Amino acid sequence: MMTILGVDPGTARIGWGVIEDNGGKISAKAYGCITTDKIDSPSERLAQLYTAFTKLIQTYKPNEIGVEDLFFSTNAKTAIAVGQARGVILLACAQAHIPVASYSPMTVKKTICGSGAAEKTQVGKMVTRLLRLKEVPTPDDTADALAIAVTHGFSYKIKAKLL
């Protein structure tokens, strides 16, 4: 059995989702969203994200972690903040000695929905169907994190066969 933690990084919110792959049958184990308050300083927010993310790793003990790549076309300030949050996540993964794979938003959409141009609502609906959930996880960051975990669940098997 493989336990995978999917992560949609951000500064205000980090979506996360834990799935289990048991011989090709995938299921959601847990999911949610880590949030920080914008009244806190950037360094305090990063410390809060680190602490909460480290607890997730300790609680769910994932074998591998999938993280969304950065993709911003217009707002450099947002890209820097998200990059800092992503760095905190990667640090926590490295300290826990857990392998990390990165996926672009387009790759996740294409894997989950069959189209790299899929809308967030489509991703949420497909994640709900693939993991047999009762409703679409909210907020979008949480559904995206589960989509990243599922994407990694599909891809690590293919990579293993190629090696």
Determine the 3-state secondary structure of 160 from DSSP.
helix
Instruction: Report the C-alpha gap between 76 and 72 in whole angstroms.
Output: 7
Active site residues: 8, 68, 141
User: 91 to each of 37, 53, 112, 162, how far by Cα in Å?
Assistant: 22, 10, 27, 28
Instruction: Report the C-alpha gap between 128 and 133 in whole angstroms.
Output: 5
Query: What domains does the chain contain, in order, with CATH numbers?
Result: 2-162 (3.30.420.10)
Say which amino acid occupies 125: K
Q: Is the pTM of this model over 0.75?
A: yes
- Reported as a single tens digit per residue, the pLDDT across 78-108 is 788 889 999 999 999 999 999 999 999 999 9
Q: Given CA atoms 50, 30, 100, 115 in this order, what sign does their dihedral have?
A: negative
- Reported as a single tens digit per residue, the pLDDT across 6-42 is 999 988 999 999 999 998 899 999 999 999 999 999 9
